[in-house]
Structure 1
């Protein structure tokens, strides 16, 4: 187990790029209408980074225009593209380095051909409005941002929310808008989560280029073994991604199943699982550690299964043994990994499955560190463990084996546990979901059931 120590060297080798991104983000804090000489030097440094690339000419034109106070939204779209390109390069570098440390082959690139269809005129108009609004935010700067800059966008946001072609942009822009509103006025510019806010700005701006297009899927049949669930939620949305092994066509592939649902504050406990009726058999199979036999389920090039409740229960499997077989260091297996979509190539999206054992647990206040002595150590990503998860720090501290995801955030690596073994007992996020759904009258007497009944009643009256 030599890789934990080497992970920290990976972080240090990319430090200059992190610092360049941080310098660019400072321009968004100050506002592009208020740049000083140091900010302009940052833009020139970024120009040099892209010398000889396809973005060189457009970036040079944009930085020159911004430097002379010529503010046009297309120039800010170029800045978003450049920042996303840097993050994408970081993602590729970090992923390649960590996979090499783990003895895993590089992931083969798959060419995705997007449709050439032009969006409808009303969609074009809405996206142009978003670009202009995002430019206004960039010009003012987060440190000087006030509600008067945000509120006029509400009308456009409502139209975007009502447009099916813009559902992804609607989700992002709604969250971004309300997060900004909750944190204004800014009392202390040092407290601004600038990396996060500029990330959101960048993704929102990129989304104005054209609506997101789902890549072509292919039907696949085989046996699916779920190894872990990554559960995330906030006041208005809950989502989980199930990571599993798909045995099909005489080969094994890493796949994901993602399910999301809107919610309200009142649904804040185990009842969240009632929001996923299409995932009942998936959650049941996971709870029992039984394979799911699936047939003709659409599979995207990114390894995502488009789940609609398919599958029949099959034989049992040992979750931890399967995790060790495929995700320990230097396993030498032929597991197929899928390429990552361009829009998801950002260091925060790194999620490399990993099996860990033979570690010592070191507790420091509310933090847990896994130590392999001279070989290095790895922190537990506490912030990524859902408050609704069956896992907690006490269980993790007693564990002897962990299956989880290697994550990269704030310049350092950590592991997000999805399942842990304490002696012969396995505890995993989402393992009790099936029992919640199976309870007699669970939906009828729940907050979810009551809200569904009330909404149905209102619709009937309408």
Structure 2
């Protein structure tokens, strides 16, 4: 891991340009000072010889004349996404070299058909443009709240789920921070990520990945759980043996929720898959997979609930770890790097414990005392870190998520059931 101690050439510079852009986004493009304008000119110089160069130069010149049109901000958002995408590629190449891996090729997404939800996507662009003009640290409720109607339209379109989830979290976070001018500190980098990702996805959404039929035995490696008040995303990492060469896969689950649904109660959203998956984690068992789609991006999409199999040995399976395919350009960002790794306890990298769900079995002391761990190699806070998934103990192992089944059984009330019951009462009253 010594090869990861320094960053590839150009990565620091890319982050510096992004940071200066985010300062302008926080301050507001409607109130740019000379210093901000000079920093935007530097951005134009970086892209001068690239395909984005003319669009970025035109946008910066026009904004300098106070011509605030959505397509100019789209060009700037694209430049920010491109900078972080280039940093992502350099970091992935560094990680693969350190691990002795070669990543399989990813897929290029198809362009977004212009007729699909065109009105809602145009409204997204206009709202994000208004945020940029006003400045994220100068927002008022009257700027953010009206977006709720557009957001509802996005949430109703299954093809726009990813964009809707992103903007749901972003708008809610902005509303919680109002008035932003009174906040002691603002997450400028994250807000810049959300703003630019939302803007470019009005032009191109992550396309549907190609897939092949898959069945076989999955050895779980652990859970990665990310939620906010209105959305939950859970990834089960594992090694799939389908009769060919075993490969590392992710089983994704995602869905909208309300803030009352949290912790182990989130798994009520993912029935009928929750019980066998949590049962396999709890009892250190494999999962027998049938009728699944193995997508080119490494996602294993279940069509039917898996069955619990025999005893699992994640550390034996980890000898067969393979790199996950590189994501399409739109999704390349250093924060999304998640390279499955098997490391000795003295690997020397900082731990990304903040990425683990609240109440996780893997406390920092347990991880530090473990002689060996399985985890995800991440890039965050300016350097490489490891998010633990599973640790070896003296006689067995401890895996992230293995205690969820027990916690779920002890729940006296399941918020999702209560909400469904209340909704049913309201509907019966109306009838």
Partner Cα distance (2:400, 2:223) in 1: 6
Following TM superposition, by how much is the alpha carbon of 1:404 offset from its aligned partner in structure 2, in angstroms? 0.9
Structure 2 unaligned spans of 5+: none
Query: Which segments of structure 1 move beyond 4 Å, counting only runs of 4 or more?
Result: 442-445
1:195-344 matches, cutoff 5 A: 195-210=189-204, 212-279=206-273, 280-323=275-318, 325-327=319-321, 335=322, 337-344=324-331
Provide the rounded CA distance (Å) in 1 between the counterparts of 2:311 and 2:183: 54
- Cα distance in 2 for partners of 1:416, 1:128 equals 38
Counterpart secondary structure, 2:137: coil
Counterpart-to-counterpart distance in 2, 1:27 and 1:113: 30
Bigger shift: residues 406-415 or 292-301: 292-301
CA RMSD of aligned residues (A): 2.5
Instruction: Indicate yes or no: 2:77 matched with 1:109.
Output: no
Gaps of 5+ in 1: 328-334, 360-371
Listed one character per residue, the Cα deviations across residues 386-442 of structure 1 (whole Å, up to 9, x for unaligned) are 1132222232233222111111112122111111122123222211234456x4xx7
1:345 matched to which residue of 2? 332
**Closer, same or farther: CA 85–312 of 1 in aligned 2, 3 Å:** same
Distance 1:443 1:450, change over 3 A: farther
CA–CA separation in structure 2 for the residues paired with 1:111 and 1:196: 26
Kindly tell me: are residues 349 and 129 of structure 1, through their superposed partners in 2, closer, same or farther at Cα, counting changes over 3 Å? same
Question: In the alignment, does 2:84 pair up with 1:87?
Answer: yes
The change in CA–CA distance for 1:184 and 1:74 in structure 2 (over 3 A counts) is: same
Which residue of 343, 346, 350 maps to 1:356? 343
* Per-residue Cα deviation, 1:38-87 (whole angstroms, up to 9, x for no partner): 22222222222223221112112111111222211101001111111111
8 Å CA contact retained: 1:271, 1:436: no
SS at match of 2:180: coil
- Secondary structure of the residue aligned to 2:286 is strand
Q: Bigger CA drift: 443-452 or 418-427?
A: 443-452
Q: Secondary structure at the match of 1:209?
A: coil
| Alignment deviations for residues 353-389 of structure 1 (CA, whole Å, 9 cap, x no partner) | 1212142xxxxxxxxxxxx6xxxx3111121121132
Q: Could you say if the C-alpha distance between residues 404 and 290 of structure 1 is closer, same or farther in structure 2, counting changes exceeding 3 Å? A: same
Query: Are 1:291 and 1:313, in contact at CA under 8 Å, matched by a contact in 2?
Result: yes
Contact 1:147 1:184 in 2 (8 A): yes
Moved more, 406-415 or 182-191: 182-191
Deviations 1:118-153 (A, max 9, x none): 434xx2112111111111111111232222222332
User: 1:394 and 2:365 equivalent?
Assistant: yes
Alpha-carbon distance between aligned partners in 2 of 1:201 and 1:358, rounded to the nearest angstrom: 38
Q: Which stretch of the first structure deviates more once superposed, 27-36 or 77-86?
A: 27-36
Give the length in aligned residue pairs.
429
Q: 1:231 touches 1:429 (CA, 8 Å); kept in 2?
A: no
Report the equivalent of 1:365: none
Partner of 1:24: 21
Distance change >3 Å, CA 281–CA 308, structure 1 → 2: farther
The structure-2 alpha-carbon separation of the partners of 1:390 and 1:309, relative to structure 1 and needing over 3 Å to count, comes to farther
Counterparts of 1:167-178 in structure 2, within 5 Å, are: 167-178=161-172
- Tell me if the contact between 1:405 and 1:417 (Cα under 8 Å) persists in the aligned partners: yes
CA distance in 2, matches of 1:343, 1:75: 18
Tell me, yes or no, if structure 1 residue 449 matches structure 2 residue 420.
no
Give a deviation string over 1:302-339, Cα, whole Å, max 9, x none.
Answer: 1111223333333323112322x145xxxxxxx36323
The offset of 1:258, in angstroms, is: 1.2
C-alpha contact 2:137 2:180 (8 A) present in aligned 1: yes
SS in 1 for 2:108: coil
CA distance in 2, matches of 1:261, 1:154: 19
| 2:99 is the alignment partner of 1:128 | no
TM-score of the superposed pair, with normalisation by structure 1: 0.85
**Match of 1:412?**
383
Structure 2 CA distance, aligned partners of 1:19 and 1:189?
A: 24
